[in-house]
Amino acid sequence: MDAARAELPPKTAEPQPPEAQASGLVRRVAAFDVGDRRIGVAVSDPLGYTAQPLFTLHRTNHRADMKSIARVLRKHAVAEALVGNPLHMSGDQSPQAAKAQQFAEELRAQFGLVVHLWDERLTTTEAHRHLDAGGHAAGRERSQIIDQVAAVLILQSFLDARANRTAQE
């Protein structure tokens, strides 16, 4: 496993509820685009095919941030988390990547989730392109949703890679 796509094992394995096992549903994956001031949040559909934006968490303090994240995890029956890993273009770790990795470790420890770190290089640039194509003007509106769009792109990339890996097995 390379540094761009690392997986932190859960503290304790959490079984899926019987209704999820019987129906073949996968519990959801939540993605977090972690910044110093905001965290973009996205979640997969129950089958794990598509990513949808949820909201942008405007960070206030650590305790409040974790409380908001706990609500999201419960409300959406999240079984796995994905944290964008903002590496330098060379693949070296950036200062923000160290913060993202610390956030990932905290999710794993506090909520007992499997947490994946996912290479997010250029996702913010791609998110800006999507917003430009959708006619979203620069400014306040864009700053309110850019992190959500980046989280969706990170999550969709992960879901697509997982589906491709499964199809090849």
Q: How many folded domains does the chain comprise? A: 1
User: Average pLDDT of the chain?
Assistant: 81
Does pLDDT of 127 surpass 80? Answer: no
Is 142 part of a structural domain of the chain? yes
Interval 47-71 mean pLDDT? 94
CATH number of the domain within which 66 lies? 3.30.420.140
Confidence (pTM): 0.78
Of 133 and 119, the one with more pLDDT: 119
Is 8 part of a structural domain of the chain? no
Does pLDDT of 57 surpass 70? Answer: yes
Identity at 50, one-letter amino acid code:
T
Is 18 part of a structural domain of the chain? no
Is 33 part of a structural domain of the chain? yes
Is 17 part of a structural domain of the chain? no
Query: 87 and 121 in contact (C-beta within 8 Å)?
Result: yes
The closest of 49, 130, 32, 129 to 85, measured between CA atoms, is 32
Is 3 part of a structural domain of the chain? no
Helical residues (DSSP H) of the chain, grouped into ranges? 18-23, 62-75, 95-111, 123-133, 140-168
Domain that holds residue 106: 23-168
